């Protein structure tokens, strides 16, 4: 019959339509039911939603569906993220004709050429993806209340009013301050350059460089270094003879630095007046004096000096800096250069490294040692990089200054460094500034540097009171998996003030600062509250102009009198009360699930902002995070082609198969791995489950209600309990696996075990199973539910009751399973495929009696055991008793609690009775005649003959005679 064919696309569309029509997921406040509000961090609309998003989303969807079935009134809304520079960035790149961007859009996202042309308009781009993604998400089938959908930024005036209100509140309550803030800066774009805006230099951020001054004819040659403490080992100063340098007045003092340095100094709050420019070679050969130590050293030429890095001036410590050492050696050998700059070769060759630090590992001249060890030939050898870092690490952590370091002698390097820095600052012999340790190039091709932004509006994350409140919120929250809690503590403590205004990209204007928008991470922190409002903005009952500060104050915080607020906002007082009621009903968020990447930023902000704005009872209740999806073992990477969109996956595998493929692949913080082959297999698995359940529904066996039905019912209860527990603990993979495979295996065993299945017991089990399957594979489960002749929706049907499990029937089956396994093992050892006769001989009654008593005592005590045995063994031969004693002691030693339970119950029920009852099963299983006996029923001599040297029967371990 074509009925049994599983066509996922048909089934999925069918039920999505039904859910839509019946408004199953449209949630309204209902005081008679507890609420459960789940949220997902809205995805960014700069591209298609991918499987990684789907994974995180699915975990949440499962909880939403499960909670609904448990009687909760579940709200699961959705929105789309437009704020920030990613969308405008793509548009910019297309406008510039960036090939790579266009290629990715065309090949990976499947955007038609003519659409790409229109992507020059960022709004068009955002709308395009929002449409596409909404469609893909709907085809995937989520338990979402779509009436509340919105997107962010000023392009959505309703949402913007909300963000503005949020910032007015933050400012009013003192969470906003003004200050300075360093950023990686592109001088051409006049904006900060985040990682994703960079052509090269990802992950590079400002580090402190120290400036060390050398007196030169009424001016200062200013060198930059990470290691100011090494000034005691200086032998010379390097400049690049071909670079351009400048003399300039810096905060009133004359400095000589590379011309590139001037902009950097100016951008770090220094007043810069350029006096003149000149070539670096003019400096060569001059003598300079270290202000800090008074060392007089020559200025020498070096090609490795990069005028764009630091100040373009480097002081040379050949003993402790392999680069300096090598450059000096090169120079000593290079007659031509010496001649060119008129340097005295003898004088240069007499320069010796000055040791000023020692370590156990490298001694006091590590440069020389490492250059020799690594076989470094000249100053352009890339291995110098490695040598430098080896020396730096070792000396910084384990080095001690030598006696030539004045007041800083005999100190650990770390300590000396700290003191030298302090002293230089005090005396003006040195200074410091921020610099990028390696080059960063903006997408526009310009080299970036550090700029300190002044008069920045900052969120005061450094404020101890705010941190304390956030930590308190965290304490009351449930966090899954639990390891992540520590991360939150770390990040809450670690955060410093955060600059939240921007001048580029999409977003909401800062209410008090025209021309500036609220940065993306900062505007998306408490927006879950807006879902209550957005429903009415979408249906036209509220207009953006109604959404004033007073409006939100009343609806979200309960401040003000409805009638007065109504007058000011134009919203009827009754409606305001209704809104207030709705907010109060739904808030706070009960569960927010996201990828682990958001812990460090968004989720921490989420906590911070909630505690700042809302009273304690509205603080978030639970956060759960999961790993990052990999594709065929590789991290997702669009430009490398490692990327699967949700749309493609759903088209190819359907929603249900996609769901379980994602869910079964990881737990906790592990990174799930998507394997397409597995997804295909999972379609087969679903087809198989579909067919299996249909066949079970078709069974027409008599109603019996014997042991096996009892067993089946209790197995079902166990599965219900397991799935429920796993779901409550956000162990979604465990839950999925248990729901998919657990009951399937139970039903298989049941069918194997009985001659004719009990149709009623089967039907009960199938019903429970479908309920358990629903959260994970909703469409398939719903389809089968209707095939069962049910009139209601499975989505609305209550979750099975988590009932007390009666272990007894389960114990009996465990005993039998063990017996079957033993039989198979013997067959294997005998290399036999089949058998003619199977005889099961259970232990003699006296053994059973003795054993019962021994297990009761629950301890391994040879004396006591022997005593008990002797009591029961009247008339038993000494040898037989001894042998049995050995067996008993051995099995007692390794007996687990479960095994004890099994034995106890088997003995209680009578082992032979159990076997008698299971005899037809054994006959069916092994296709042979089966006989069940007790040792008591076989004459002693006969028994010896039958058993041979095999160990005698033990309670729970009958002799198996195979012929």
| Span from 77-85, 221-229, 402-410, 914-922 in contact with RNA (CB under 7 A) | 77-85
According to the binding rule CB under 7 A, does residue 226 interact with RNA?
Answer: no
For residue 673, what are its two tokens?
A: 């791995």
CB nearer to RNA: give 142 or 855. Answer: 855
> Residue 144 CB, nearest distance to RNA (Å)?
20
Nearest to 260 by CA among 452, 442, 436: 436
Nearest to 606 by CA among 474, 770, 465: 474
CB nearer to RNA: give 340 or 923. Answer: 923
Cα 932 versus chain centre, distance: 57
CB nearer to RNA: give 273 or 828. Answer: 828
Nearest to 268 by CA among 421, 434, 111: 434
Subset of 879-898 contacting RNA (CB under 7 A): 891, 893-896
According to the binding rule CB under 7 A, does residue 958 interact with RNA?
Answer: yes
> Residue 648 CB, nearest distance to RNA (Å)?
20
Q: Which of 112, 427, 824, 908 binds RNA (CB under 7 A)?
A: 824
CB nearer to RNA: give 618 or 744. Answer: 744
> Residue 734 CB, nearest distance to RNA (Å)?
7
CB nearer to RNA: give 305 or 933. Answer: 933
Subset of 663-682 contacting RNA (CB under 7 A): 664-671, 673, 677-678, 681
According to the binding rule CB under 7 A, does residue 662 interact with RNA?
Answer: no
| Span from 252-260, 376-384, 538-546, 819-827 in contact with RNA (CB under 7 A) | 819-827
Let me know: does 843 contact 958? Beta carbons within 8 Å: yes
CB nearer to RNA: give 379 or 520. Answer: 520
> Residue 278 CB, nearest distance to RNA (Å)?
35
CB nearer to RNA: give 396 or 585. Answer: 396
| Span from 223-231, 332-340, 648-656, 952-960 in contact with RNA (CB under 7 A) | 952-960
Subset of 454-513 contacting RNA (CB under 7 A): 483, 486-487, 490, 494-500, 502, 505
CB nearer to RNA: give 242 or 825. Answer: 825
Let me know: does 892 contact 854? Beta carbons within 8 Å: yes
Q: How far apart are CA 246 and CA 279, in angstroms?
A: 8
> Residue 647 CB, nearest distance to RNA (Å)?
19
> Residue 49 CB, nearest distance to RNA (Å)?
12
CB nearer to RNA: give 141 or 956. Answer: 956
Q: Which residues pair with 459 in a beta bridge?
A: 176, 498
Burial 817-829 (b: 16+ CB within 10 A, else e): eebbeebeeeeee
Subset of 618-637 contacting RNA (CB under 7 A): 628, 635
According to the binding rule CB under 7 A, does residue 593 interact with RNA?
Answer: no
Q: How far apart are CA 835 and CA 839, in angstroms?
A: 11
Bridge-based pairing state of the strands 449-459 and 498-499: antiparallel
Secondary-structure percent of the chain, ordered helix, strand, coil, rounded to 5: 50, 15, 30
Q: Which of 208, 352, 828, 883 binds RNA (CB under 7 A)?
A: 828
According to the binding rule CB under 7 A, does residue 600 interact with RNA?
Answer: yes
According to the binding rule CB under 7 A, does residue 238 interact with RNA?
Answer: no
CB nearer to RNA: give 552 or 711. Answer: 711
Q: Which of 9, 639, 745, 836 binds RNA (CB under 7 A)?
A: 745
Q: How far apart are CA 27 and CA 22, in angstroms?
A: 12
Subset of 157-186 contacting RNA (CB under 7 A): 181, 183-184
> Residue 628 CB, nearest distance to RNA (Å)?
6
Q: Under 8 Å CB-to-CB from 345, ≥6 apart: which residues?
A: 332, 335, 338
Cα 510 versus chain centre, distance: 31
> Residue 949 CB, nearest distance to RNA (Å)?
9
Q: Which of 596, 609, 610, 912 binds RNA (CB under 7 A)?
A: 596
> Residue 385 CB, nearest distance to RNA (Å)?
16
> Residue 646 CB, nearest distance to RNA (Å)?
16
Backbone angles phi, psi at 808, to 5 degrees: -55, -55
Subset of 7-66 contacting RNA (CB under 7 A): 44, 46
Alpha carbon distances (Å) from 784 to 64, 693, 894? 21, 8, 46
CB nearer to RNA: give 487 or 849. Answer: 487
For residue 105, what are its two tokens?
A: 């859009």
For residue 11, what are its two tokens?
A: 């089934």
According to the binding rule CB under 7 A, does residue 187 interact with RNA?
Answer: no
CB nearer to RNA: give 542 or 888. Answer: 888
> Residue 327 CB, nearest distance to RNA (Å)?
27
Q: How far apart are CA 76 and CA 59, in angstroms?
A: 12
Q: Under 8 Å CB-to-CB from 553, ≥6 apart: which residues?
A: 165, 559, 560, 565
CB nearer to RNA: give 236 or 737. Answer: 737
Q: How far apart are CA 620 and CA 606, in angstroms?
A: 9
CB nearer to RNA: give 409 or 673. Answer: 673
According to the binding rule CB under 7 A, does residue 85 interact with RNA?
Answer: yes
According to the binding rule CB under 7 A, does residue 688 interact with RNA?
Answer: yes
The conformation of residue 257, written as its DSSP 8-state character, comes to: E
> Residue 436 CB, nearest distance to RNA (Å)?
10
Total residues interacting with RNA, rule: CB under 7 A: 95
Sign of CA dihedral 91, 92, 93, 95: positive
Q: Which of 193, 316, 358, 932 binds RNA (CB under 7 A)?
A: 193
Alpha carbon distances (Å) from 439 to 305, 308, 383? 14, 8, 19
According to the binding rule CB under 7 A, does residue 296 interact with RNA?
Answer: no
> Residue 69 CB, nearest distance to RNA (Å)?
24
> Residue 742 CB, nearest distance to RNA (Å)?
8
Dihedral angle of Cα 134, 139, 140, 145, to the nearest 10 degrees: 60
Q: How far apart are CA 64 and CA 481, in angstroms?
A: 18
| 342 burial via Cβ count (<10 Å: 0-12, 13-18, 19+) | exposed
According to the binding rule CB under 7 A, does residue 452 interact with RNA?
Answer: no
Other CB atoms within 10 A of residue 166 CB: 25
Residue appearing with tokens 């040379």: 316
For residue 67, what are its two tokens?
A: 């909670």
CB nearer to RNA: give 183 or 810. Answer: 183
| Span from 53-61, 166-174, 600-608, 706-714 in contact with RNA (CB under 7 A) | 600-608
CB nearer to RNA: give 498 or 586. Answer: 498
According to the binding rule CB under 7 A, does residue 728 interact with RNA?
Answer: no
According to the binding rule CB under 7 A, does residue 826 interact with RNA?
Answer: yes
> Residue 52 CB, nearest distance to RNA (Å)?
12
Q: Under 8 Å CB-to-CB from 611, ≥6 apart: which residues?
A: 466, 469, 470, 472, 473, 619
Q: How far apart are CA 33 and CA 30, in angstroms?
A: 6
CB nearer to RNA: give 259 or 962. Answer: 962
For residue 104, what are its two tokens?
A: 């990715």
Q: Which of 16, 101, 160, 192 binds RNA (CB under 7 A)?
A: 192
Let me know: does 757 contact 688? Beta carbons within 8 Å: no
Q: How far apart are CA 749 and CA 711, in angstroms?
A: 10
According to the binding rule CB under 7 A, does residue 426 interact with RNA?
Answer: no
Q: Which residues pair with 441 in a beta bridge?
A: 200, 447
């Amino acid at each position: 019959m074509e009925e049994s064919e599983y066509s996922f696309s048909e089934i999925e569309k069918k039920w999505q339509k039904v859910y839509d029509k019946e408004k199953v997921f449209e949630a309204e406040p209902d005081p008679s039911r507890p609420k459960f509000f789940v949220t997902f961090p809205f995805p960014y609309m700069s591209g298609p939603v991918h499987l990684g998003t789907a994974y995180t989303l699915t975990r949440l969807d499962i909880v939403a569906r499960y909670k609904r079935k448990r009687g909760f009134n579940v709200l699961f809304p959705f929105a789309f993220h437009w704020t920030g520079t990613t969308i405008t960035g793509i548009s910019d790149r297309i406008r510039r004709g960036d090939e790579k961007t266009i290629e990715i859009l065309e090949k990976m996202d499947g955007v038609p050429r003519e659409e790409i042309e229109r992507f020059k308009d960022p709004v068009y781009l955002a709308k395009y993806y929002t449409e596409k993604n909404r469609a893909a998400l709907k085809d995937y089938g989520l338990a979402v209340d779509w009436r509340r959908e919105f997107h962010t930024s000023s392009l959505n005036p309703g949402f913007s009013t909300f963000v503005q209100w949020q910032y007015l509140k933050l400012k009013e309550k003192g969470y906003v301050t003004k200050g300075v803030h360093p950023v990686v800066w592109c001088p051409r774009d006049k904006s900060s350059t985040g990682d994703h805006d960079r052509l090269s230099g990802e992950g590079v951020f400002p580090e402190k460089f120290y400036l060390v001054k050398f007196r030169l004819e009424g001016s200062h040659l200013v060198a930059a270094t990470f290691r100011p403490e090494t000034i005691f080992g200086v032998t010379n100063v390097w400049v690049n003879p071909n670079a351009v340098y400048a003399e300039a007045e810096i905060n009133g003092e004359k400095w000589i630095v590379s011309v590139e340095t001037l902009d950097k100094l100016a951008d770090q709050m220094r007043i810069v007046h350029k006096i003149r420019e000149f070539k670096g070679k003019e400096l060569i050969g001059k003598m300079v004096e270290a202000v800090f130590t008074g060392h007089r050293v020559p200025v020498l030429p070096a090609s490795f000096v990069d005028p764009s890095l630091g100040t373009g001036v480097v002081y040379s410590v050949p003993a402790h800096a392999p680069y300096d050492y090598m450059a000096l050696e090169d120079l000593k050998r290079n007659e031509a250069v010496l001649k060119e700059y008129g340097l005295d070769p003898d004088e240069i060759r007499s320069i010796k490294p000055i040791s000023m630090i020692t370590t156990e590992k490298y001694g006091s001249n590590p440069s020389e040692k490492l250059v020799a060890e690594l076989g470094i030939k000249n100053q352009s050898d890339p291995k110098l990089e490695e040598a430098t870092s080896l020396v730096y690490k070792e000396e910084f952590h384990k080095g001690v200054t030598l006696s030539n370091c004045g007041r800083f002698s005999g100190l650990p390097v770390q300590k000396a460094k700290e003191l030298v820095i302090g002293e230089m600052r005090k005396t003006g012999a040195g200074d410091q500034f921020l610099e990028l340790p390696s080059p960063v190039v903006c997408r526009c091709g310009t080299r970036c540097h550090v700029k300190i932004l002044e008069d920045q509006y900052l969120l005061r994350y450094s404020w101890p009171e705010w941190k304390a409140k956030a930590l308190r919120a965290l304490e009351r929250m449930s966090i899954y998996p639990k390891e992540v809690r520590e991360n939150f503590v770390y990040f809450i403590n670690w955060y410093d003030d955060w600059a939240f205004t921007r001048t580029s990209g999409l977003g909401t204007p800062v209410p008090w600062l025209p021309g500036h928008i609220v940065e993306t991470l900062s505007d998306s922190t408490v927006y879950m509250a807006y879902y209550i409002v957005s429903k009415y903005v979408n249906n036209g009952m509220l207009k953006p102009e109604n959404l004033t500060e007073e409006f939100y104050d009343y609806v979200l915080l309960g401040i003000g009198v409805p009638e007065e607020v109504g007058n000011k906002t134009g919203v009827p007082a009754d409606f305001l009360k209704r809104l207030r009621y709705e907010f109060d009903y739904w808030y706070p968020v009960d569960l927010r699930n996201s990828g682990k990447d958001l812990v460090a930023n968004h989720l921490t902000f989420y906590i911070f902002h909630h505690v700042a704005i809302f009273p304690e009872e509205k603080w978030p209740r639970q956060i759960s995070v999961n790993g990052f999806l990999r594709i065929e073992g590789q991290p997702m990477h669009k430009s490398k082609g490692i990327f699967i969109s949700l749309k493609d996956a759903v088209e190819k595998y359907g929603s249900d198969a996609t769901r379980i493929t994602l869910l079964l692949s990881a737990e906790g913080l592990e990174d799930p791995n998507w394997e397409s082959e597995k997804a295909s297999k999972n379609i087969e698995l679903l087809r198989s489950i579909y067919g299996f359940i249909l066949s079970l529904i078709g069974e027409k066996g008599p109603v019996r209600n014997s042991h096996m039905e009892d067993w089946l019912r209790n197995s079902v209860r166990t599965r219900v309990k397991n799935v429920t527990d796993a779901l409550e603990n956000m162990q979604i993979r465990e839950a999925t696996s248990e729901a998919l495979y657990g009951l399937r295996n139970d039903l298989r065993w049941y069918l194997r075990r009985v001659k004719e299945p009990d149709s009623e017991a089967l039907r009960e089990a199938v019903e429970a199973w479908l309920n358990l399957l629903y959260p994970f594979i909703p469409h398939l489960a719903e389809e089968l539910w209707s095939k069962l002749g049910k009139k209601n929706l499975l989505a609305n049907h209550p979750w099975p009751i988590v009932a007390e499990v009666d272990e007894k029937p389960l114990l009996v089956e465990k005993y039998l399973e063990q017996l079957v396994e033993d039989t198979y093992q013997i067959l294997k050892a005998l290399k036999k495929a089949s058998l003619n006769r199977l005889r099961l001989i259970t232990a003699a009654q006296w053994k059973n009696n003795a054993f019962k008593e021994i297990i009761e005592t629950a301890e391994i005590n040879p004396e006591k055991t022997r005593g008990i045995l002797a009591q029961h063994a009247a008339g038993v031969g000494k040898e037989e008793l001894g042998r049995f004693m050995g067996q008993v002691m051995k099995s007692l030693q390794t007996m687990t609690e479960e095994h004890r339970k099994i034995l106890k119950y088997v003995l209680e029920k009578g082992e032979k009775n159990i076997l008698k009852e299971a005899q037809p099963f054994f006959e069916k299983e092994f296709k042979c005649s089966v006989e069940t006996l007790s040792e008591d029923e076989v004459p002693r001599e006969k028994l010896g003959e039958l058993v041979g040297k095999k160990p005698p029967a033990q309670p729970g371990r009958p002799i198996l005679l195979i012929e």
